[in-house]
Amino acid sequence: MHLSAIMERQIGADERRGFQVRFDADDKQHNQLTHDLVGLMGEIGEFANELKKVGLGLTNPNYDGLSLKEASPHLREELADVAIYLFRLSAAIGGDLEKDILAKMDVNDERYGKLER
């Protein structure tokens, strides 16, 4: 499945659930972008917190935490949440995240291509 199809599925579900992705006024669009950005940062924070706990377990024998293998399912779930917020943010500004990522990869290839071995 292409990223664009995954995004269409998620945005369709968001719209059916009342999450706005199309706007008639900049203030409404800005408010939704701000709300989704806070949500994105929260999901990144949850990922970081879980990873921090794994690190504590690796560096402190007195800390009873999950191993990286044990934490990986939850970490992947948090990354999926991050992706969903990225989809919403992109849709809210009229983006095509799949095309935007591919275009940015081309820029990075040009910029960093000389570093390849």
CA dihedral 17, 22, 7, 32 (to 10 degrees): -70
What is the structure's pLDDT at 21? 87
Count of structural domains within the chain: 1
What is the structure's pLDDT at 66? 93
* 86: its two tokens: 């990225």
Instruction: Tell me which DSSP letter residue 70 carries.
Output: H
Q: Which residue type sits at 64? A: D
What is the structure's pLDDT at 96? 92
Instruction: Tell me which DSSP letter residue 17 carries.
Output: T
In DSSP notation, 19-68 reads: -----SSHHHHHHHHHHHHHHHHHHHHHHHHHHHHHHHHHH-TT-----H
CA distance 7 to 88: 8
What is the structure's pLDDT at 20? 87
The model carries a pTM of 0.90
Q: What is the CATH number of the domain that holds 54?
A: 1.10.287
Domain that holds residue 78: 3-115
How confident is the prediction along the chain (117 residues), in pLDDT tens digits per residue?
A: 899 999 999 999 999 999 888 899 999 999 999 999 999 999 999 999 999 999 999 999 899 989 999 999 999 999 999 999 999 999 999 999 999 999 999 999 999 999 999
Cα–Cα distances in angstroms (integers) from residue 79 to residues 43, 62, 102, 116, in the given order: 8, 28, 20, 27
